[in-house]
Amino acid sequence: NAGVMQNPRHLVRRRGQEARLRCSPMKGHSHVYWYRQLPEEGLKFMVYLQKENIIDESGMPKERFSAEFPKEGPSILRIQQVVRGDSAAYFCASSQSGNEAFFGQGTRLTVV
């Protein structure tokens, strides 16, 4: 049973480009959480999704950020028109309903 898979592991984007981060949850998990970790800081919750539904996006910046978890395929975190301040590690975690969530290896986004 493969763990939570995130790709790419490292992503470099120029200012103004779009970044797409992918997360494939563990088999049997239908709940996905995205977190952002800025340098030298803890993780901050961004968004909680179930299949085809955004349950809680209270941690998402209001502009440029969006997330989806389609019926088929991975969850996607999309950042449009990236800025230097978006440089961070983005972690995805998945769980079965109400159970402990497991983390992926993260995507480290660098905006140049």
Partner 1 sequence: ELKVEQNPLFLSMQEGKNYTIYCNYSTTSDRLYWYRQDPGKSLESLFVLLSNGAVKQEGRLMASLDTKARLSTLHITAAVHDLSATYFCAVDNRNSGYALNFGKGTSLLVTP
Tell me which residues touch partner 1 (CB under 8 A).
31, 33, 35, 41-45, 48, 55-56, 59, 91, 93, 95, 98, 100-106, 108
Q: Quote the tokens at residue 15.
A: 């200012």
Looking at the Cβ atoms of 15 and 44, the one nearer to partner 1 is 44
Return the number of the residue (17 or 66) whose C-beta is nearest partner 1.
66
Using DSSP bridges, classify how beta strands 88-95 and 31-37 pair: parallel, antiparallel or unpaired. antiparallel
Query: Closest separation between CB of residue 49 and partner 1, Å?
Result: 10
> Which residue in the block uniquely carries the two structure tokens 């103004």?
16
- CB-nearer residue toward partner 1: 40 or 72: 40
- Nearest of 67, 71, 58, 73 to residue 19 by alpha carbon: 67
Residue (of 61, 67, 27) closest to 49 by Cα position = 67
CB of 43 to partner 1, least distance (A): 5
Half-sphere exposure of residue 89: CA atoms within 13 angstroms, side-chain side: 12
Q: Minimum distance between the CB of residue 111 and partner 1, rounded to whole angstroms? A: 18
Residue 25 Cβ vs partner 1, minimum distance, rounded to whole Å: 14
Of 10 and 78, the one with the shorter C-beta distance to partner 1 is 10
Distance (Å, whole) CA 28 – CA 1: 10
